Amino acid sequence: MWCWPASGLRCFCARTVYALSNVCRHQGGPLGEGRIVDGCLTCPWHGYQYRVEDGCSPPPFTEVVSTYAVKVIGGEIYVSGEPLARGKNPRARVSG
Ligand code: FES
């Protein structure tokens, strides 16, 4: 997994790329410094979690962070500057 900052976003890549807001809904923690645990991006400050699939906290929690459309073209990753509608899936597959 790796991440990098781009206009306040952090992107995560394993075999799939996701783009989520870097700002935790709790107290603004840096989500890009968190870890993915059981499919959830986990904030390094107090442990709030967000599913990488859609940016929603797992039940019973209701917090949501913005997600962004991602495309992988010719080995380069492109992230939309506009957030997706709540709960939309931001992933893009990495080939090769
Ligand atoms: S700031 Fe993220 S859990 Fe508190």
The per-residue pLDDT for range 14-33, each reduced to its tens digit, is 578 888 888 999 999 999 89
Number of domains into which the chain is organized:
1
- Give me the residues of the chain with pLDDT under 70, please: 1-14, 87-96
How many whole angstroms from 40 Cα to the centroid of ligand 1?
14
Range of the domain at 47: 5-93
- CATH number, domain with residue 21: 2.102.10.10
Is 68:83 a contact under the CB 8 Å cutoff?
yes
Residue among 21, 28, 24 nearest 3 (CA): 21
* CA atoms of 43 and 29, how far apart (whole Å): 7
Q: What pLDDT is attached to residue 8?
A: 57
**Cα torsion angle, 25, 45, 48, 87, sign:** positive
Task: Say if pTM beats, i.e. exceeds, 0.95.
Answer: no
How many whole angstroms from 95 Cα to the centroid of ligand 1?
33
